[in-house]
A and B are shown apart, each in its own frame.
Chain A
């Protein structure tokens, strides 16, 4: 049928793993909005969910690092992390290899994407799924953009990748939901963990809400690293969602939550 839903949310492992350390007046609304994002998605009656993630060396390493990868399996496993540490039990998540294959073939007309018949989810996908599909009952098609091991794909290519995903979704008979997951400014997994550049985040989200291609692509990795940390490289996931959805974004929730190491964000995007 087409793309029937587009959204974005944070995936920081602390959101589930360190929930008990957070201020409940911030944590509870965030969790509620993430669950609501899942309800909105299910109201669109999707047959499958594409998650555009920025994984953290759960599958892809510097021996053979794809800029873009799409999963092509009938099931996936996750999380790779210690379940007690992440606050999410190990589980099997359904996929749809046949649908993946058709999407990949379509995307390949525009972007040379890698495919993977084996894929273990880390917090980058498991934390969103924990809220979006708590029963892990919706087939998921994982997508990864390398935001960890430079050299990284240029932002303009992340846009082109989103456009290619949109063309692919529109060519499928299935109803497909798309959710991107990344951090905005953050310095995770360093002693700076908890540092958040709120003005930078709000400016980026304003550009995302306008779905302003030129403004969204007007960042260099050097400036992003300086202003938004190495975690800021994950804006690529937001950019791909914007290119795929084409409509204006709506940020439903944003709050810097230092113990979660990121400005926690939940948003939807109009499909135009």
Chain B
């Protein structure tokens, strides 16, 4: 588990236009700069918000990544629910899901 590496990647990507360019040009090469396990690398390559959420990526880092991917708000929220549905509860960090799967507190 190298959650720190995943989060460091997201931190750089969210704030640095140069990293965003490398993300678009050659993501696999960019990811070589970070200490990641295969599960994390695959989730990033796939833009799998739900899996990254379950792995414990800080929600604020992940929210900005979802915005970068152009995900509408409702799709982003649903992607996190789908992650928990498929992979189980959030494994680390302070952004656990506490509502029921069908609760939809904001109506989406």
Number of B residues contacting the other chain (C-beta, 8 Å)? 33
A209 interfacial contact with B, CB 8 Å = no
Number of A residues contacting the other chain (C-beta, 8 Å)? 36
| Known interface pairs A57-B61, A63-B8; A190-B105 also in contact (CB < 8 Å) | no
Q: Quick check: A259 and B95 within 8 Å, CB to CB?
A: no
B44 interfacial contact with A, CB 8 Å = no
**C-alpha gap A192/B99 in the complex (Å):** 6
Q: Quick check: B105 and A193 within 8 Å, CB to CB?
A: yes
Q: In the assembled complex, which residues on chain B have CB atoms less than 8 Å from the CB atom of A258?
A: 105-107
Q: Quick check: B73 and A21 within 8 Å, CB to CB?
A: yes
Q: In the assembled complex, which residues on chain B have CB atoms less than 8 Å from the CB atom of A80?
A: 14-15, 64
Query: What residue in chain B is nearest A13 (Cβ atoms)?
Result: B63
Q: In the assembled complex, which residues on chain B have CB atoms less than 8 Å from the CB atom of A225?
A: 94
A191 interfacial contact with B, CB 8 Å = yes
**C-alpha gap A66/B5 in the complex (Å):** 19
Q: Which of A14, A56, A192, A259 contacts B98 (CB 8 A)?
A: A192
**C-alpha gap A57/B107 in the complex (Å):** 28
Q: Quick check: B62 and A189 within 8 Å, CB to CB?
A: yes
Q: In the assembled complex, which residues on chain A have CB atoms less than 8 Å from the CB atom of B99?
A: 191-192, 195
**C-alpha gap A150/B93 in the complex (Å):** 9
**C-alpha gap A152/B80 in the complex (Å):** 26
Q: In the assembled complex, which residues on chain A have CB atoms less than 8 Å from the CB atom of B103?
A: 192
Q: Nearest Cβ distance between residue A251 and chain B, in whole angstroms?
A: 23
- Proximity bits, A73-117, B CB within 8 Å = 1, else 0: 000000011100110000000000000000000000000000000
A-B contact list, 8 entries, CB within 8 Å? A57-B14, A57-B61, A81-B14, A190-B98, A191-B77, A195-B99, A195-B105, A230-B59
Q: Write the residues of chain A forming the contact surface with B, with a CB cutoff of 8 angstroms.
A: 13-14, 18, 21, 56-59, 61-63, 80-82, 85-86, 120, 122, 148-150, 187-195, 225, 229-230, 258-259, 261
